[in-house]
Amino acid sequence: MLLLAAIGKMRQGPERELVARYQTRIRPRFEISELPEARGALAEKRRQEGAALLHATRGNYQRVALDEGGTIFDSIGFAAAIDRILSHGKGVAFLIGGAEGLDREVLDQCDIKISFGRMTWPHMMVRCMLAEQLYRARSISSGHPYHRATRP
């Protein structure tokens, strides 16, 4: 099972439609858990949102944090990492923090930290990018020609 746990709710629009399109194509299908944004001082917001993310991803999941300081995978490496986790009978839970980022406790409890680069991306775009990369990873794993590993 694949789970995306994210702070904030996607509004109607092209980003939501794109994520939904990939969501229907991916096997195993990935679920989305949208959690409310916390209120208060920065540290308290991070703590509350982090607790909500950890609660939403408890169980038989390996947690993967999307964090600027994480490992930068190529698509084939990302597919291999997902395959390794799924082959052990665990689900994969991807955690996307709110505007203030992920709390240190969340990062410490994640098995893998990945980055889509050192640039700052809007959280809703990260969902789109993750959905596409999950589709690409599952395509690579199944031998589907969606991913083209060679460059001209």
Residues at the binding site for S-adenosyl-L-methionine are 66, 97, 116-121
> Nearest 5°: phi and psi at 51?
-60, -40
User: Binding site, residues?
Assistant: 66, 97, 116-121
The conformational region for residue 20 under phi > 0 = left, psi -120 to 50 = alpha, else beta, is alpha
* Tokens matching residue 92: 């994969």
All residues at 6 or more sequence positions from 57 whose CB lies less than 8 Å from its CB, including other chains: 3, 5, 33, 63, 93, 95
Cβ contact 40:48 at 8 Å: yes
